[in-house]
Amino acid sequence: KEEAKASITYSYKHGFSGFAAMLTEDQAEDLAELPEVISITPNQKHELMTTRSWDFLGLKNEPPSELLQRSNYGEDIIIGIIDTGIWPESKSFHDHGYDAIPSRWKGVCQLGEAWGLSNCSRKIIGARYYAAGLDKANFKKNYMSALDNNGHGTHTASTAAGVVVEGVNLHGLGAGVARGGATRARLAVYKVGWEEGGAGGSYLATAAVLAALDDAIHDGVDILSLSLGVDENSFGALHAVQNGITVVYAGGNRGPRPQVLYNTAPWVITVAASKIDRSFPTAITLGNKQTLVGQSLYYKLKNNTESRFESLVNGGNCSREALNGTSINEKVVLCIELTFGLIGRIFEDVFAGVIQGGASGLIFAFYTTDVLLSTEDCKGIACVFVDNEIGYQVATYIGSERLPTVKIEPASSITGNQVPAPKVAIFSSRGPSIKYPTVLKPDIAAPGVNILAAKEDAYVFNSGTSMAAPHVAGVVALLKALHPHWSHAALKSAIVTTASTKDEYDTPILAEALPRKVADPFDYGGGNINPIGAADPGLIYDIDPKDYNKFFACQIKKYEICNITTLPAYHLNLPSISIPDLRHPINVRRAVTNVGEVDAVYQSSIESPLGVKMTIEPPVLVFNASKKVHAFKICITPLWKVQGGYTFGSLTWYNEHHTARIPIAVRITIQDFYADVA
């Protein structure tokens, strides 16, 4: 009994019944044979998803937007951050002017290394950490507490609910006011991410995330924001949703390839990353006085002198082979990458060779990256990204000069409609969902590129769907404060159906890809988040949380947790439709609830996917005091007999005050298990 108790790391009891334990394979197999045990799954490791943005979304602080005023900045909504912890001393988390902690809060302030009771406050009202399974050899690399020594969790928490901090910038870049979306919301911190092994290594386990979800249900959070790549905890997230919690997940950073989304269960909000209307132009002056412009987060360190001309060399693709025999010490190196792969991996290889060679700067020509690096990221040198056209011009200059030189100026910041936005970031993972193809994912896009937010006592830029997810969590907090009785499904519906599909110039939003293209629902779901519209959507697609059980049989099994039942999930009342195998006419039913004016009439507008005919019955919905919910039927008919790809359309309900649009994805097929690879 003593050994059995000692082996248990977590006990799950608030959302579902279960436990995590350190077992040998034989012990696990023996345990699985017991009639009381439904199933066993091995613990798995996962990864983290890594100022201007709120103004860009229409939530201006000075003067305050109407939504911020009406929601009182999300006051007393409790946002749970499941991440790498938090840095409580950051200015973004002070609790000046906050009232007492809401009486419904049942959480704890768990003490630990460098974390005392004073580190919890009326802003950070709860803190827990989950270190079971972390190798003791890595304890010294971490604070054994909710304190964040990675920075990821602090960044996401301040993005969602950080208070107003004036005069924030990174060495002059991105200067302005740093704040979260819901500045009056409370924060509850659940630390599940740990430093492990070498530089950049992290330990993030399924068992810990499930334990955090289970505790969050008990503690009484309203929203959970998870910037994590954990696809196996849809089971725990379902229980959170069925207990009234809105769960927001990052969609992953493996774009622009399709079918690489994380966290695609229909009961969570899966978030893609988009770009905002800000850029960081960096002047590159060649020795012939020609000035070209790249982008970077390059700034001068305190001990650096003014910019000057330096020797410039062409390093080809800057692989070890290409740099072999080329002297790059104290020279600026041009690196040209004509292939496309994971930018992080490519740049890591390039950067290692350039730094080891003692280069004084790097001009990196690449198709597009969306991720910029600061001077500190680049070990004190300038790392400027340019496109291949500019890279070619620099290479041509180098080839024409006996002693080519270049001068790189520090970056500047430009915001506003000079920068077309939003666009879907190239790294943002794309649909369709492999696990749940009858559920259209992602749900929504939100700012996730070069976001300036807190890290320890400073502020840094980070990019990723990790940064996009807390933007959505912050918006949900405002909506929850404004509409306290709305369900999770209603909140999600309001966000999806009011999203923007056009940019500031009323042209279709683009998605960075190969090549750049008009965005479709597999890039951004309903579109780019529109908080003002979501506050007053007119109609919502609501779901009783119990209905998920009709479509998904959830139990913990090896490699799979929630399986689709025989009832296709496109019949679930989601604010989207995805049909991966259309072969004959089908009817899809939906119902909408009126949350706008009591007496209202809505017309329908259909944009049929290519190769598909769609009709709707009835085409007009009339609402009044006695008729608040209307059901309708969409008949979807294939016009072709072909093994096709996905095409996209939409259904919009509209009147003079509101527009509620849902995205639709359809693939016509004629065979099962047809691999679309040749």
Query: What are the catalytic residues?
Result: 83, 152, 466
Integer Cα distance of 522 and 441 in angstroms: 6
Burial pattern 256-265, b for ≥16 Cβ within 10 A else e, equals bebebbbbbb
- Read off the tokens for 275: 């770009």
Greatest CA separation for the chain? 84
Bridge partner list, 11:
19
Integer Cα distance of 15 and 238 in angstroms: 9
Integer Cα distance of 233 and 206 in angstroms: 7
Q: Are 191 and 83 in contact (CB under 8 A)?
A: yes
Integer Cα distance of 347 and 354 in angstroms: 10
Nearest residue to 185 via CA among 72, 75, 67: 75
Integer Cα distance of 68 and 63 in angstroms: 10
3-class SS string, 117-137: HHHCCCCEEEEEECCCCCCHH
Bridge partner list, 554:
562
Bridge partner list, 127:
109, 189
Q: Are 611 and 639 in contact (CB under 8 A)?
A: yes
Span between the terminal Cα atoms of the chain, in Å: 58
Identify the burial level of 152 via C-beta atoms within 10 angstroms of its C-beta, where 0-12 means exposed, 13-18 middle and 19 or more buried.
buried
- Read off the tokens for 22: 């350190």
Question: In this structure, what DSSP letter does residue 72 have?
Answer: G
- Position of tokens 């969306």? 370
Q: Are 382 and 304 in contact (CB under 8 A)?
A: no
Integer Cα distance of 668 and 611 in angstroms: 8
- Read off the tokens for 573: 């009342």
- DSSP result, 401-464: -SS-EEEEPPP--EESTTS---EE-TTS-----SS-TTS----EEEE-SSEEEEETTEEEEE-S
